Chains A and B, each alone.
Chain A
Amino acid sequence: GQNIDQPTEMTATEGAIVQINCTYQTSGFNGLFWYQQHAGEAPTFLSYNVLDGLEEKGRFSSFLSRSKGYSYLLLKELQMKDSASYLCASYSGAGSYQLTFGKGTKLSVIP
């Protein structure tokens, strides 16, 4: 089975750092995606982690611990345009294609 948990909402201040957590229980787990979705728009890809550890991409970093079933997205130097929903999704390719999305974390960046 697949189960993804992430906080529903978070608020952070412009210029600050925020960490969005995601826990998963996925049989046949292969990797963990993060997508960004602005209100009324389509999701856009941020990262895909397969191996344990931290991967950095500019202001955004993503971390994975396979043994703990845990990932986080770290956003540095927050900007107002970072206000969006952040979707965590676990991928399992065992047998058939399975990409399970969490319900998303709505991040509000305030001045």
Chain B
Amino acid sequence: NAGVTQTPKFRVLKTGQSMTLLCAQDMNHEYMYWYRQDPGMGLRLIHYSVGEGTTAKGEVPDGYNVSRLKKQNFLLGLESAAPSQTSVYFCASSYAAEGEAFFGQGTRLTVV
């Protein structure tokens, strides 16, 4: 039972490079989310999706793009990485907005 799987687990980028983080869930959840977690800041919502083909901005969307072409996958893109995007990124999914969220194991991204 995989739950929510994120790839990659670790990545180092140079400033200006681009990359895509992949999130996959096998629970048939409608809702999917991308968060970033920084020391002393707590979890902050970047973007979310309430169903296949839909995306919406969260609290800190600048510098990121997302796509939800398939219900089970939610991609987070960084077009031009900046050191301020150094963080731990978590993907999560839930059956409903007020339901229990299941988190992936996280991606530790460093931008140098």
Q: Which residues of A contact B (CB under 8 A)?
A: 4, 30-31, 35, 41-45, 48, 50, 87, 89, 91, 93, 96-104
Contacts and interface: CB of A to CB of B under 8 A. Distances in A.
Given A97-B48, A101-B42, A45 B100 contact: yes
7 contacts: A35-B101, A41-B106, A42-B103, A91-B97, A96-B56, A97-B97, A104-B42
A90 B104 CA distance: 21
B100 A48 contact: yes
Interface residues of B, number: 23
A93 B106 contact: no
B92 to A, nearest CB: 8
Interface of B: 31, 33, 40-45, 48, 50, 56, 59, 90, 97-106
The 4 closest A-B pairs by CB, nearest first: A42-B103, A103-B42, A45-B100, A101-B43
B90 A99 contact: no
A97 B56 contact: yes
Dominant SS among interface residues on chain A: strand
Contacts of B97: 91, 93, 97
A24 to B, nearest CB: 13
A31 B98 contact: yes
A15 B6 CA distance: 36
Contact of A93 (B43, B98, B101, B105): B98
B98 A91 contact: yes
A42 B106 contact: yes
Nearest to B49: A97
